[in-house]
Amino acid sequence: MCRKFAELFSLLAAQEHANAQLLVFANKQDMPNAKSPAELTNILDLGSIKNREWFICGTNAHTGQGLYDGLMWVKKQMKA
C-alpha cells in the first residue's frame, strides 16, 4: 500500500470507526487527466476493504454530476 493512503487505512482500522462506511467522491471528472473511479479504486486499493461497505462515484462539483448518487448511497446505508 502506498504510504500516502496509509492514513485512510489507519482510520478505517480504528475501533471508533468499526461501523463506519466509506464514500469516496472522485471529483474533477470533467478534467482531461482525471483518474476514473475504477482507476482510483485500484490506486486506493479499495477492493481490499472487506469489513465494511464502501462506494466510489465520479463527480464534478461545478455541475453537481455524481453528487446525488453519492448522497443516495449514504441514505441507503443509513436505512440499512
Residues tagged in the binding site annotation for GTP: 27-30
| Binding residue ranges | 27-30
Q: Which of 32, 31, 35 is nearest to 61 (CA)?
A: 31
What residues have CB less than 8 Å from 57, skipping those under 6 apart? Answer: 23, 24, 25, 26, 37, 66, 69, 70, 73
